[in-house]
Amino acid sequence: MLELSHINAYYGESHILRNVSFAVSPGEVACLMGRNGVGKTTTLKVITGLLAVRSGNLKFDGADVTKLPTDRRARRGLAYVPQGREIIPHLTVRENLQLGFWARAEAPGRGVEREAFDEVYQLFPKLTHILHRPGGVLSGGEQQQLAIGRALLSCPKLLLLDEPTEGIQPSVVDQIEDVIIQFKNSRRFAILLVEQGLHFAARLAEKYVVMAKGAVVAYGRSDELNADMVRQHLTV
Ligand SMILES: Nc1ncnc2c1ncn2[C@@H]1O[C@H](COP(=O)(O)OP(=O)(O)OP(=O)(O)O)[C@@H](O)[C@H]1O
């Protein structure tokens, strides 16, 4: 589904990603981990095309997308929920969700829209009470639910989630975890999740990728995460 091979990326002359390689299979949940500033968000930006690579190769859904612009990657089924959530503040909750639906690769058949929105409302019932509120006034937890709902409406093949539980109250954290578990069980799309907490990765992900100083330092199945590696590279 997604394959990064020997990716090197820079901000100006600062060499940030160093020879990053890893893969995510269809329907798989993978967790990208590491301490602050190691390059996790930069990796997601490279995958979405927001940051160009200096060298290396990126494949998505069987095609080489290394040079494809961000909007074309989105149309192919790449959905991104960034750390700042990027809700459009002056659009209502309903309108923000609509943007996700319009980003679909194929024109959906009749009846699909209603069904797709109902699914989001079932996952995040809170949204149904605030559909006409401007996105900019929502709490962090509401914005995160909206951002995930919007991404789901785009019918992704791969969902990128950047620290979806950061700065959110515990009850909403639980709800977001439950939703990710439901996504995982449905196997409708793959998920690449950035999380610093070990608990999240161990509980939700099948695969882990640990980064340090812009490079991948450990990569494997989550049930094989070992204590030494965790102590060395992660905040527990
Ligand atoms: N726009 C930018 N211009 C220059 N340097 C940047 C920019 N964005 C990030 N960096 C630097 O790139 C490095 C990697 O940052 P990145 O945001 O990818 O880390 P991260 O692992 O996602 O960290 P965090 O967990 O804090 O979000 C850091 O040293 C950061 O200071």
Tens digit of pLDDT at every position of the chain (236 positions): 999 999 999 999 999 999 999 999 999 999 999 988 999 999 999 999 999 999 999 999 999 999 999 989 998 999 999 987 889 999 999 999 999 998 887 777 777 888 899 999 999 999 999 999 999 999 999 999 999 999 999 999 999 999 988 888 888 888 888 899 999 888 899 999 998 777 777 778 889 899 999 999 988 888 777 767 777 777 65
| Complex ipTM value | 0.95
96 close to ligand 1 (CB < 6 Angstrom): no
pTM > 0.80: yes
pLDDT tens column, 44-60: 999 999 999 999 999 99
Count how many domains the chain has. 1
Dist CA 162 CA 41 (whole Å): 7
Residue 156 and residue 100: Cα distance in Å, rounded?
10
> Can you give the CATH number for the domain in which 173 is found?
3.40.50.300
Q: State the closest ligand 1 atom to the C-alpha of 34, by its place in the atom list counted from 1.
A: 21
CA dist., res. 233 & res. 211, Å (int): 8
- Could you tell me the residue range of the domain that residue 75 belongs to? 2-233
Q: Is the CB of 42 under 6 A from ligand 1?
A: yes
CA of 16 to the centre of ligand 1 (A): 8
